[in-house]
């Protein structure tokens, strides 16, 4: 299925946006260290279900702009990128889906502009308050985020041995090739790590309001970075309806690539609810 790609101006930068289909808009937001290609196993199913699939490379990733400076990757800036993108594409309301950092951004879009989101599917990462309150188990799982705070050291660690630190997490060679290509550009790896450096406050318990749009929260067994509690406890921070789904089995973090049929069924079913 051939994707249309274009650079779209938003919030002072340009984002590369891949899209296909002609139905109701569904916007898919990727996480670290991916690009829009992490949704490749969702595209056909969602288009066949009647959606116009829209997949931006978040700032710093893929063919999107990667402005210098840590503050350029604060979650408020990332949120403004997506709201500005909806404006630029003249999308009044969308079905929003996010994985990993894409889920973090998605939660903030729902809080900042609920009128723009018909429904939200959060994969892997729960509401910011639930994440911050998930206790020592979550902090231990997120040990790498502390290492990512070290300029130069973190970059060297990730690059070592042809991304040796990341290889065990890759679902397939195509994903690993995408990571290699993504980090080959000047400053690209630092831009990705700046997501962690600019948003340390998210782990410290900052208070955010409840989300008022319907939310589907999906967590997969074997996720090395995220506890089930931080997704389950998100129910307390959703004023609208909240549906929780657990995917059992040796799945790990990249559920949309490891179990696409199950994820696609959940996304399509939630969209039709």
Using 50, 70 and 90 to split pLDDT, how confident is the model at 98? Answer: very high
Percentage of the chain beyond pLDDT 70 is: 99
4-272: CATH topology is Rossmann fold (3.40.50)
Mean pLDDT of 115-141: 96
The pTM of the full predicted model, rounded to 2 decimals, is 0.97
Res 132: pLDDT: 94
The full DSSP string for 71-105 is GGG-HHHHHHHHHHHHHHTT-SSEEEEEETHHHHH
The full DSSP string for 182-242 is HTSSTTHHHHHHHHHHTTGGGGTT---PPB-S-EEEEEETT-SS--HHHHHGGGGGBSS-E
CB 26 within 8 A of CB 46: yes
């Amino acid at each position: 299925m051939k994707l249309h790609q274009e650079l779209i101006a938003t919030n002072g930068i340009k984002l590369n946006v891949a899209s296909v289909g002609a139905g109701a808009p569904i916007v898919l937001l990727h996480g670290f260290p991916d690009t829009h290609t992490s949704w490749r196993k969702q595209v056909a199913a969602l288009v066949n279900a009647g959606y116009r699939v829209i997949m931006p490379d978040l700032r710093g990733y893929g063919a999107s702009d990667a402005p210098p400076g840590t503050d350029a990757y604060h979650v408020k800036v990332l949120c403004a990128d997506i709201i500005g993108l909806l404006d630029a594409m003249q999308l009044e309301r969308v079905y929003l889906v996010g994985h990993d950092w894409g889920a973090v951004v998605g939660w903030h879009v729902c809080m900042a502009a609920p009128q723009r989101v018909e429904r939200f599917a959060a994969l892997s990462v729960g509401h910011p308050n639930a994440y911050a309150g998930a206790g020592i188990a979550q902090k231990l799982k997120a040990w790498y985020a502390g290492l990512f705070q070290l300029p130069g050291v973190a970059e060297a660690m990730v690059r070592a041995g042809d991304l040796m630190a990341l290889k065990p997490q890759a679902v397939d060679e195509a994903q690993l090739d995408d990571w290699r290509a993504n980090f080959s550009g000047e400053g690209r790896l630092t831009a990705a790590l700046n997501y962690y450096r600019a948003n340390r406050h998210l782990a410290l318990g900052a208070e955010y309001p409840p989300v008022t749009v319907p939310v589907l929260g999906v967590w997969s067994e074997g996720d090395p970075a995220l506890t089930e509690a931080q997704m389950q406890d998100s129910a307390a921070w959703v004023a609208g309806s909240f549906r929780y789904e657990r995917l059992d089995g040796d799945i790990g973090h990249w559920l949309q690539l490891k179990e696409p049929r199950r994820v696609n069924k959940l996304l399509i079913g939630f969209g039709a609810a």
